[in-house]
Structure 1
Amino acid sequence: MSFHPLDFAIVAAYFVVVVVLGWIKKAQPKDEDYLLMGRQLTLPGFLLSLVSTWYGGILGSSEYSYSYGFSNWIVFGVPYYVFAILFAIVLARRARRKYVVSIPHLIGENYGPAGRVLSGILVLILATPAPYVLTIGVLLHFLFGVPLVPGIIAGALFSFIYVYRDGLAVVVRTDLFQCILMYGGYIVLFLFAWWTWESPVQLWEAVRERSPDHVSVTGGSPVSYILVWFFMASWTLVSPMFHQRVYALKDERNARRGIVFAVLMWTVFDFLTTFVGLYAFVHLPDLSDPRISHLALGEAILPIGAYGLFITGILSVVMSTLDSELFVSGVTLGPDILGRMPGVKRLRKSVLTRIGMALVALVSIGFAIFVPSVVDIYYTIGTLAVPGLLLPVLSSAGAFPSVPPRFAVAHLVVVPLVAATWYIAGRAIPDTLPAIEAFYPGCAASILIWSAGLLVGRSGKA
């Protein structure tokens, strides 16, 4: 497609501002400042950073809302509200009182060095920037004709460059800027779609006539599949991004109120993304790639200038999550894993984090190239990592009973292996296993191992 010079100038200005925000400070930060902003994060920064970083896979929402309709809100919205509120009630203050820098650090305090390293591996899987690197590649291809692979590489390198110097502080600074843009861009697109075609109420009736499944809760998918996504939203309880921002808060009381406000803001944004997808479904029925339904809608109806604003909004959605997940992964691979190795642990945590970010960026590029569906990436990493992390995180934060360390270590190894084996076998040799999503066998293994650990612990044989 061709960009009007004004639209191009708006997008170019966005990238310039992000880089300036990344390098605006002159002094090199100390380790705690680099990792957690010196634990001085305020409520506005916490809230807007939390909101903006939760939507990086916007092409996944675009793909799902176009293909399955209203169930986009049920799959990618409601379950996360439930578990976010649960996080606020059960975990938020407990997590803030733990003087740690990451989830692996938290687990390591309770279950030893092996627990820290093994949970670090699962956090790396969970916090992989691969979905967002892929999204940037798709965006650059659609907007500027950049081939997918170079676009993926460019997105990863750009994020690394502006986060490199200042760590979490620049992630939060850019999140504040990008949160405004993402809401502004989608509000503009939604209002223009309403003005161009019909009201949301009229749209709903048009969708119902064309495809009743698109206005159903399940979107035509099996209930078992929807339930997997619901329980996978427990991801929120072990989200490295959630934990990192809570650890960085200046006042622990802001953890609960910030999350509640975030849920309200997410509800608004989920409404916008779902109905934008429905407008595209009705008025652009022949799209070959559902991932770009929101982009295609913007191209079809937005005037010059407004289109450039929308593009900066959608870029903000992705980049705000990409930089956050890249940074979290860098902390995990750096201080939490590489920092346990002899001869490496003497390096500063900020240096180890930068090394970790560079390595994670390379791996994410490869993952994004070989798994070219945002929804598939989400499903895969959630299935493998969430069951393995959930109980170790809850127990380490004091929100669930602990088990002897050897059971926790076994849990961190066996549960992901069970889920991965079921997942791989179900695709390599179909019809040989019951039609059960791999997430459930992982959860079953988790319950069995933890129950055994609790029994042994109570009997005093730990």
Structure 2
Amino acid sequence: MYQNIMPKIDFWNFLSPLDITIFCLVLVITAASVIYGQVLKNKALSKESNDEEQSFLDLLILGRQLTMPMFVATLVATWYGGIFGVTEIAFNYGVYNFVTQGAFWYIAYIIFAFFIIHKITPYKAVTLPDLVEKMFGPKSAKLTGIFNFFNVLPVAYTISLGLFLQLLFGGELVTNIALGTTFVVLYSMWGGFRAVVFSDIIQFFVMVTGVFLILAFSVSTFGGLGFLKENLPEAHFSLTGGQSWSTTFVWGFIALSTLVDPNFYQRCFAAVSEKAAKRGILVSTFIWFCFDICTTFGAMYARAVIPTAESQHAYMTYAIQILPDGLKGFVLAGILATILSTMDSYLFLAGTTLSYDLAPKRFKGKVKFHHLGIIIVGIISVIVSIIFKGDIKTVWKTLGSFSASCLLLPVIYGYIFPKKIKDNQFVFACLLGVITTAIWRNIERPAPFKNVDELYVGIITTSLGLAFYHLLNRKKEA
């Protein structure tokens, strides 16, 4: 322990009236941005035909008018809601967090910017399943919608929000999750994607500044790398963090699921141009790199200073004790902004999947049904977070594994070999992948394969499914 920094604290004893004022002020500004976005939405719709179809297009993708600065702000802000999960990994494993939650993902972002955007632009799609339908067929679109729904369920972020509220107000985690989710559901319903974007702009500034301040005060208080090396296990500076390379590379494949991540696609579909989307992703990647440096080393300082702290809460507990009055409230608002900016995006997009991609035709495109979809998603997210017992890392790995192993390769092959993969072939390969992934996850594996992750099995069987279906069709045609 250093300078009386404690592993567990009552947060209210460390917050001054100035901190509370600044924290509330950031929340008020965020609320004002949502209201401003709603006013702009009403003005935009009044200039158009104001029919339901145009209204729904504005609700989902802002009428394809997302400029590059707004694109960067909403994309960056959307990607870091699991700050409690990321800092927990860094607290326990050090640099391993930067590799698995940072470096692998940068590769995926760059691939998306240079090799994917120009392929999807001509389709003028609204959602990822809509794009898949235009590439492969209606059955593939429905299956993709189901995968998407589970991929964007904001379970990790409902847990993060619950943990944040629990630290401040105490009580049961489940109660805090339910209350926090209800709040986000209400404002996500009201303003649509425009409200998400405008709130993300404020949250982007606060969250990036907040994590930078934590690292800056850590270095000025305790020193640089020398301090960390003296007070942390050697494994914290290893690329694998003491884990096997096989386990480490699983995160690499999960990162590649960005190539089928509906949040990425939604913002690219909403962008004002292909150039704005491409440049926006590259600028965002640089900002993510800086953000990951701050969160990884900030959590490592927490481990060095208060090693006995509970890993999920350690980063926030540490930050509040090293920052001066005023900045504590700002950083708290930054951590909350990091969670909310991702949670509202995922909540909104999961609601879109229900109301647009999976809904019967008579309900498709109805604004009120989209609102109902968001409510349903909120309820399901709370239930699933209880099932996972608040374990964010397990949520990411479980839901990410299914998406990466079953959906990734068929879509990528579709880009590489356009019009070559048929609707039924796509469905067959994806279903084969999800079945084998689920089986492998739950069976007792023989000794030689005990450490083979289910993601690898899913990727292999999905690829074999595509090849087998192709060969079978060629024989029938012959």
Same fold (TM over 0.5): yes
Partner of 1:203: 227
Partner of 1:79: 104
Partner of 1:242: 264
Task: Tell whether the 8 Å contact from 1:135 to 1:318 is kept in structure 2 after alignment.
Answer: yes
Partner of 1:359: 376
Aligned ranges 1:275-294 → 2 under 5 Å: 275-287=297-309, 289-294=310-315
SS in 1 for 2:453: coil
Indicate yes or no: 2:197 matched with 1:179: no
Once the two structures are TM-superposed, the CA of residue 157 in structure 1 deviates from its matched residue by 1.4
Indicate yes or no: 2:118 matched with 1:104: no
Indicate yes or no: 2:65 matched with 1:40: yes
- Shift in CA distance, 270/155, structure 1 to aligned 2, threshold 3 Å: same
Deviation string 1:196-215 (CA, Å, 9 cap, x unpaired) is: 2112x2234224xx411011
Indicate yes or no: 2:395 matched with 1:377: yes
Higher mean Cα deviation, 401-410 or 133-142? 401-410
- Which amino acid letter does the alignment assign opposite residue 284 of structure 2? A
Aligned ranges 1:17-416 → 2 under 5 Å: 17-24=29-36, 25-26=38-39, 28=42, 30-199=55-224, 201-207=225-231, 210-287=232-309, 289-340=310-361, 343-345=362-364, 348-371=365-388, 372-397=390-415, 402-416=420-434
Structure 2: distance between partners of 1:400 and 1:134: 40
Partner of 1:10: 22
- Which amino acid letter does the alignment assign opposite residue 331 of structure 1? T
Aligned ranges 1:423-462 → 2 under 5 Å: 423-426=441-444, 434-456=450-472, 461=477
Structure 2: distance between partners of 1:193 and 1:400: 51
Deviation string 1:117-143 (CA, Å, 9 cap, x unpaired) is: 211110011111010000000010012
- Shift in CA distance, 244/390, structure 1 to aligned 2, threshold 3 Å: same
Structure 1 length as normaliser, TM-score? 0.93
- Which amino acid letter does the alignment assign opposite residue 236 of structure 2? H
Task: Tell whether the 8 Å contact from 1:404 to 1:457 is kept in structure 2 after alignment.
Answer: no
Deviation string 1:10-45 (CA, Å, 9 cap, x unpaired) is: 222233332332233346551111111100111101
Once the two structures are TM-superposed, the CA of residue 394 in structure 1 deviates from its matched residue by 2.8
Deviation string 1:254-278 (CA, Å, 9 cap, x unpaired) is: 2221111111111101100011011
Instruction: State the identity as a percent.
Output: 30
Higher mean Cα deviation, 90-99 or 175-184? 90-99
Higher mean Cα deviation, 129-138 or 100-109? 100-109
SS in 1 for 2:137: helix
SS in 2 for 1:164: helix
Structure 1: distance between partners of 2:130 and 2:65: 20
Once the two structures are TM-superposed, the CA of residue 459 in structure 1 deviates from its matched residue by 6.2
Deviation string 1:219-273 (CA, Å, 9 cap, x unpaired) is: 0011110011111111110111100000011111122211111111111011000
Once the two structures are TM-superposed, the CA of residue 392 in structure 1 deviates from its matched residue by 3.5
Structural RMSD (CA): 2.0
Structure 1: distance between partners of 2:448 and 2:150: 27
For structure 1, list consecutive stretches of 5 or more residues without a partner in the other structure. none
Structure 2: distance between partners of 1:457 and 1:93: 31
Task: Tell whether the 8 Å contact from 2:57 to 2:63 is kept in structure 1 after alignment.
Answer: yes
Structure 1: distance between partners of 2:92 and 2:233: 10
Structure 2: distance between partners of 1:153 and 1:454: 47
Once the two structures are TM-superposed, the CA of residue 431 in structure 1 deviates from its matched residue by 6.1
